[in-house]
Amino acid sequence: MRLSAIVPATDAPATLERCLAAIATADDPPEEVVVVDAADRPGPAAARNEGARRATGDVLVFVDADVEPHRDAFTRLRAAFTADPGLDALFGSYDDDPADPALVSRFRNLLHHHVHQEGAGPAETFWAGLGAIRRTSFLAVGGFDAERYPAAAVEDVELGLRLTASGARIALDPLLQGRHLKAWTLATMVRTDFARRGLPWAELLLERRGGSAALNLGRRHRLSALASLGLVGGILARRPRLAAASAGALLVLNRRFYAVLVRREGPMRGAAGLGLHAVHHLTGAAAAVTALARLGRSDRGRGSTRAR
């Protein structure tokens, strides 16, 4: 089985060399590595499609340019696809040791790690940070939707939903891991969670007229968003009981994640992580409300057109 690693380097990241070095020195590395930069295709969806077009492997392994795959990543991929001929796609997660030491970076990456660790097993979406798809399955659904997603967004999630709808089988292997090299700030976290992830994901689900419990869309995460709203509402309204009850609900709902934060970052940074987690959920709630408002305006616009 031939593996082709595809790395979209559309913004010439400083981390690219570290990513490529990790791929080259991995145990049982891929037979080829295809790097696509902005001169070839401007957005990550288009870059990955271009990489797939150039690749010759049986399995296309997508690796973000700011990820260092663990040494055993490609060994795990070969073993999984060889052992299960019916497996169409497999993806993993960031590890629990992100490179940037800043609080927001550590929080954001550990959150991703925890969500993916708890989502192990059959999946209905896909993650292109470190994920692989059989070439035949990728081509059968037309690859990433580069027209809809000219910039980084939820192009991998949308691809996963199309794969699942076509009958393909996807799995999440929590031991398939890579180290994330990205440095986050509070501003980039909020902007990404709202504009790049939350809003397009909510619009995608509304468009498909169906709910999802995939990864960070499960019941616990939705209840956490409500608790975050209660926490902020209680603080703004000077209702300490509401704020305390909401904070308690967040702690109970996310106790396993907060345990990871405290274990990795210590009590003080772990406590700060609760505030960042509330911001994360509030941003997601704002994205959902915005998506619903856009849908309402669109429906009213179509109704007005029909009335004429």
pLDDT tens for 41-71 read: 778 999 999 999 999 999 999 999 999 999 9
* Residue 24 confidence (pLDDT): 97
Q: CB–CB of 245/230 below 8 Å?
A: yes
Nearest-angstrom CA–CA distance, 198 and 193: 5
Q: What mean pLDDT value characterizes the chain?
A: 90
Helix, strand, or coil (residue 63) = strand
* Residue 298 confidence (pLDDT): 64
Q: In this structure, how many other beta carbons lie within 10 angstroms of the beta carbon of residue 248?
A: 12
Burial 68-81 (b: 16+ CB within 10 A, else e): bbbeebbebbbebb
Give backbone dihedrals phi and psi of 134, rounded to 5 degrees, phi first: -60, 140
Burial 179-210 (b: 16+ CB within 10 A, else e): bbbbebeeeebbebbbebbbbbbbbbbbeeee
In the beta sheet, which residues pair with residue 123? 170
Torsion over CA: 11, 148, 199, 219 (sign): negative
Nearest-angstrom CA–CA distance, 253 and 226: 11
Question: Which of these, 131, 220, 221, lies nearest to 171 by C-alpha position?
Answer: 131
Model-level pTM? 0.90
In the beta sheet, which residues pair with residue 94? 178
The alpha carbon torsion through 94, 100, 104, 109 (nearest 10 deg) reads 0
Where the chain has pLDDT below 70, the residues are 209-218, 298-308
Give the CA distances from residue 69 to residues 65, 115, 222, in Å, rounded to whole numbers and listed in that order: 10, 18, 31
Sequence ranges of the chain with CATH classification 3.90.550.10: 3-183
Number of H helices, E strands in the chain: 12, 8
* CATH superfamily membership of 3-183: Spore Coat Polysaccharide Biosynthesis Protein SpsA; Chain A (3.90.550.10)
* Residue 304 confidence (pLDDT): 53
Nearest-angstrom CA–CA distance, 228 and 92: 28
- DSSP alpha helix (H) spans, 166-218: 186-191, 199-207
Give the CA distances from residue 135 to residues 39, 48, 54, 132, in Å, rounded to whole numbers and listed in that order: 24, 12, 12, 9
* Residue 4 confidence (pLDDT): 98
Helix, strand, or coil (residue 171) = strand
